[in-house]
Amino acid sequence: MTEGPIAKQIVVFAIPLFLGNLFQQLYNTADTFAVGNLLGDDALAGVSSSGSLIFLLVGFFSGIAMGAGVVIARCFGAGDVVNMRKAIHTSIVAFFIAGVVFSVAGAFGAETMLVLMRTPKEVLPQATEYVRIYFAGLVTMVMYNVCMGIMQAVGDSRHPLYYLIFSSLLNIALDYLFIGAFKMGVGAAAAATVISQFLSVCLCMARLLRVKTDYRVSIKELKIDRHMLGMILKYGLPSGFQNSVISIANVVVQSHINLFGPEAMAGCGAYAKIEGFAFLPVTCFSAALTTFVGQNLGASKPERAKKGTRFGIITAVLLAEAIGGLILLSAPFLIDAFTESPEALKFGVDKARICCGFFFLCALCHCLAAVLRGAGKAVVPMTAMLVCWCVIRVTILFITVPLLGMIDIVNWVYPITWSLCASALIIYYFAADWAKPRPAGEAL
């Protein structure tokens, strides 16, 4: 990504990411759709209430994987093959060990965490079943993120797309086989996800083991390099910690939604799945920007990094807002597909009417954070997001919800905190010398 037309480079890299994220969102939505239509609103509420809890761990590892991707991209851009290979092999081993540990801990602690979230008793058994199985297979999600991050860091966004399409279609098929044909419970939806993710990891590893390039994985080199692990954690821990703390804030948000009953949980959960589609351009352009900035700063091309940044941010913001407008117009029809409850439908539509018009702010936050991560400035977006999306968001909820008793307060905390975070990141973006070139060898 250090040569050629900038817009074309970013778009060509981002399109497979977009399609991959689209399929991933489709199979996540298929879980919710199948559960809501085949098992009822209580089951839908159980699955919906667990989303923020699941992202608590998945988001942590995804953030650290971003750090690994930054190190690999900078080494790749600078032609530092030795350190690039150390980063790749260290990432695979370290993430596998951590994934196994957290899989066990998450599976055993699932019910306790859901109780702390004030999950209603009528929903708790199904929510516990879903989360426990999902967490038991957490290591497969962790390893998929690592393998995907390695390929994306060196500019290969096509193969992760192929494997994700396979995984998505298999997940949807298994959902309807387990729940529709075999009449299994909500745990079957989680099992379908774990199985499909496991097979996608197998495909990713097979690719990395046989590819004839400098980033080919060698069994003999699979070991942890302490220095390289330190660099990965240096770049990745701020993002992982950021994702986790934000997830904790979202768990708090979900606990306040839970106070309004199963209908609110089901309606807001259905909306959350639909909202995920609006953030697809944000996700793919963010990943593209991190890789683009990392490679070009590694290759000492700061002006090219700045030009690519401007194009990526503007494109992502416009796409996110356009999709937000479409969701706003079609929210009653979309949410109605997930639930037969008029009360749940109203909760979902009300949330769409509050949040959809402000998607451009969320897109701006994520893209600016991605640029700064690619430049090795991960602590800055971490701090801004923690303060705005965690501290301020939770403070607003604890003060206003008990006083006013309105779920609209829970919905409004999102656009309020998006705007505060975007303002802080914009100020830093223009004030700091984030594009100062630092070759990979110097950075490591």
Is the per-residue pLDDT at 224 higher than 90? yes
The pLDDT assigned to 27 comes to: 67
Q: Is the pTM of this model over 0.95?
A: no
**Euclidean distance between CA atoms 393 and 144, whole angstroms:** 31
pLDDT of residue 440: 43
- pLDDT on residue 62: 82
Buried-exposed string 233-248: b where 16+ CB fall within 10 A, e elsewhere: bbbbbbbbbbbbbbbe
Q: Residues 262-295: pLDDT tens digits?
A: 888 888 888 888 888 778 778 888 888 988 888 8
User: Which position has the higher pLDDT, 27 or 330?
Assistant: 330
Distance of CA 147 to the CA centre of its chain: 15
> What pLDDT, on the 0 to 100 scale, is given for residue 422?
95
Q: What tens digit of pLDDT does each residue of 111-138 get?
A: 898 888 778 888 888 889 989 998 999 9
CA gap 314, 311 in Å, rounded: 5
- In whole angstroms, how far apart are CA 122 and each of 19, 135, 282, 361? 37, 21, 36, 37
Give Cα separations from 184 to 124, 174, 175 (angstroms). 17, 11, 10
For 312-336, the pLDDT digits (tens) are 899 989 988 998 999 989 989 888 8
Rounded Cα distance, 299 and 23, in Å: 33
pLDDT, residue 121, reads: 84
Tokens of 14: 């981002």
Beta-carbon contacts of residue 35 (< 8 Å; ≥ 6 apart): 43, 44, 47, 179, 186, 189
